[in-house]
Structure 1
Amino acid sequence: MLAGPAGAQEQPAGERPGDTAAAAGVGWSVKATGADARFRGLSAVSRSTAWVSGSKGTVLRTVDGGRSWQNVSPPAAAGLELRDIEAFDARRAVALSIGEGEDSRIFRTEDGGASWTETFRNPEPRAFYDCLTFFDHRNGLAMSDPVDGKFRILSTADGGRSWRVLPNAGMPDALPGEAGFAASGQCLVSAGPRDVWLATGGGAVARIMHSGDRGLTWTVTDAPVPGGDPARGVFGLAFRDRDHGLSVGGDYRTGQPSPQAAARSGDGGRTWRSSAVPPAAYRSGVTWVPFLRSVALAVGPTGTDVTLDGGATWRPLDAGSFDTVDCAPQGVAACWASGEKGRVGRLEKL
C-alpha cells in the first residue's frame, strides 16, 4: 500500500525537543547526501556503513560514516519506488521496489552496488509488495497486500537470489480494506532465526500478525494503535528479541491527530499495551538502540521521539523530519535515520 506523506502536527505545549536531546547527550547529525530523493528504505550495517533507498529508483551507500555517499542505484530500477533495503555488509544488499503488478521487484547486489541483478518481478497484477526482512544472510521474506483475501508471503533461502510464493493456508483472512504500509520498510520485521511479524492498517482495526516458522503459519492480534480508516494503522515494528516488541503508527494525513500512536509487547506480540505517554504525532519508523535494553527511537515527518523505559513513555528528541530509523549492533553511534529531500542522519554525541 503506497503510504502518502504526512503533514506537520504541532508539538504539545511545554515540549521542547532540544531538552530531551540535551539530557540524552545525543542528537542527529544530518549528512549531506547530494540527493533529493525520499529515502524510506534504510539498512544500518555499522557506524561507518549504511544503505538508503527511495524514490526515483535511488540507492546510496556510505562506508565512511556519512562523510561521502556513492550513488549505486540499479539502472533497471529507474523510476521505481525502492521502499525497503536490507544489507548484509558493505557489498551485499537486497532492495525492494513497490507497486502494483510488475512494479514490485527485488534487486540484489554482491559488489557494493556496482552491479545489480533483478531476482524477482511480480507476475500477479493484484499483488503489491510492501516490505522485506531477513532472518540471516540466506533466509528472508517479503510481504504483499492481500491477494484472494490473504496477505501474500514471498520466501528466499539463498540470500535473495531466488524467491517463491509460500502457500497461504496458514495465513488468517484479511479484513476488508486491510493492507500494509510501505512507509519505512518496517511493516515486516524479524528477530532470531524463525520469528517474523507483519503490521497492518486500513481495516476496521489495526492488527499485528506473528509467525514462528518463517511465514508458514500465522496468528493475529488487534493492535491498540487506531485503525478504521485507509490512512490509519501500524506503520512500523521493531523487536529487540522474540519477546519484546514496539509498534508505531497513527494517521499519516496532514492535520489529523494520532492518539495512541505507539504500543509495546512483552510476549512476542500475542498482546499489546498502549504506551502511557505515546509520541504526540504519527510515527512511521521505530528501532531499539543496541546495548541499552529499554531505549528505542521512533521517527516521523514531525520529529524523533525516544523511550527510556521500553516504550511505556516517549519524549521528543529532535524536530527534524525522518521516515525510517535503524541501528546496527554497535551501539548508539551506529543508529541512522533517513527521509525526505535526501535527509540522512547518524546519531552522535552533542
Structure 2
Amino acid sequence: MGGKILLLQSRDGGRSWQPLEAPAPEEGEAFFAASNASIAMCGTQQAWIGTGGGAIRVLHTPDAGRSWQLQYPPMLRISEAAGIYALHFASAKKGVAVGGAYDKPELGRLAALYTTNGGRRWRLSEEPPRGYRCGLALLPGTATYISVGTTGTDLSRDGGKRWQPLNTENLNSIRFAPAGRRGWAVGAKGAIFLLEY
C-alpha cells in the first residue's frame, strides 16, 4: 500500500495493532493468501514471510520485526502466480516452504523447499510433491509434513526433502491440533476433511 509492504504487529493478543517497518517490495511482488499460511513463526521473536509474483523471496526477522534479512530461495518465477504459498518452521533452523504456480498446478518439481539453517540457504526438495501446493502442516512431535493443493496431498517424513503422494483431493489448507492426534483440511465447495493419525 502506497508503495510499501503493509505489515502489522500486535503485542496484546490482537486488541491493538501497530505497523512495522518492512523491507521495500520489489516490482509486482505479491503475498499469497490461499491457505493463510504464508507467515511462519518460531517462538516470540523469529518470523518468516514467503512472497511470489514479481519476486520470490523470504523475509526473515530474528527480533520481532525490528530488523529484516532477505532470503532468495531457488524457486523459479514461471508465472505471475508463482511463489511461496505456505511455510512452517519446526525449529529456528529447520523449515519447509511449499508453493509453485497456481496457474500451472502440474509443475511439482519447483513446488517445495527446505532449510536446515533458518533459511540462510534453501534447497529444492529432492523428490518434490506432484504439483502446486498451497497448504502445509507439521504432525506434532514428528518431522512429518503434509502439504495440500489443487492436485492432491503429499507427505514428507524427512523434513521436506522427499515427498510421496497420499491422495488426489482438491484441498486448500490443513492444520493439526497442537496436542492430540487430529487434523483438519478444507477444500473445494466447502469440503472439510478430518484426519486422525
- Give the TM-score category using the shorter length: over 0.9
Output the CA distance in 2 between the equivalents of 1:221 and 1:255. Answer: 24
- The counterpart of 2:44, out of the listed 154, 175, 193, is 193
* Residue of structure 1 equivalent to 2:139: 289
Output the CA distance in 2 between the equivalents of 1:306 and 1:260. Answer: 16
How far has the Cα of 1:300 moved from its partner?
Answer: 0.5
- The counterpart of 2:15, out of the listed 154, 161, 172, is 161
1:264 aligns with 2:114: yes
Q: Which AA in structure 1 matches 2:5?
A: F
Q: Residues 218 and 255 (structure 1 numbering): CA distance in 2 closer, same or farther, change over 3 Å?
A: closer
How far has the Cα of 1:334 moved from its partner?
Answer: 2.3
* Residue of structure 1 equivalent to 2:191: 343
1:200-224 alpha-carbon deviations (Å, 9 max, x no partner): 0012x41111001112211011112
SS at match of 1:279: coil
Quick one: percent identity of the two aligned structures?
A: 38
More helix by share: 1
Q: Which AA in structure 1 matches 2:189?
A: K
How far has the Cα of 1:267 moved from its partner?
Answer: 1.0
How far has the Cα of 1:339 moved from its partner?
Answer: 2.1
* Residue of structure 2 equivalent to 1:151: 5
Q: Residues 238 and 255 (structure 1 numbering): CA distance in 2 closer, same or farther, change over 3 Å?
A: closer
Q: Is the Cα–Cα contact under 8 Å of residues 40 and 89 in structure 2 kept in the other structure?
A: yes
Deviation larger for 190-199 or 219-228: 219-228
How far has the Cα of 1:254 moved from its partner?
Answer: 5.2
1:314 aligns with 2:163: yes
1:151-201 alpha-carbon deviations (Å, 9 max, x no partner): 2210111111111112x2xx3322110010011101112111111110000
Q: Is the Cα–Cα contact under 8 Å of residues 248 and 262 in structure 1 kept in the other structure?
A: yes
Q: Is the Cα–Cα contact under 8 Å of residues 207 and 222 in structure 1 kept in the other structure?
A: yes
* Residue of structure 2 equivalent to 1:9: none
SS at match of 1:151: coil
For the aligned residue pairs, the C-alpha RMSD in angstroms reads 1.6
Q: Residues 254 and 315 (structure 1 numbering): CA distance in 2 closer, same or farther, change over 3 Å?
A: same
Q: Residues 256 and 278 (structure 1 numbering): CA distance in 2 closer, same or farther, change over 3 Å?
A: closer
Give the structure-1-normalised TM-score.
0.54
* Residue of structure 2 equivalent to 1:58: none
User: Where does structure 2 lack aligned partners over 5 or more consecutive residues?
Assistant: none
Give the structure-2-normalised TM-score.
0.93
Corresponding pairs, count? 197
Q: Residues 175 and 228 (structure 1 numbering): CA distance in 2 closer, same or farther, change over 3 Å?
A: farther
SS at match of 1:152: coil
Structure with greater Cα Rg: 1
Q: Is the Cα–Cα contact under 8 Å of residues 137 and 174 in structure 2 kept in the other structure?
A: yes
For CA contacts below 8 A with separation 6 or more, give which structure has more relative contact order: 1
* Residue of structure 2 equivalent to 1:175: 26
1:30-79 alpha-carbon deviations (Å, 9 max, x no partner): xxxxxxxxxxxxxxxxxxxxxxxxxxxxxxxxxxxxxxxxxxxxxxxxxx
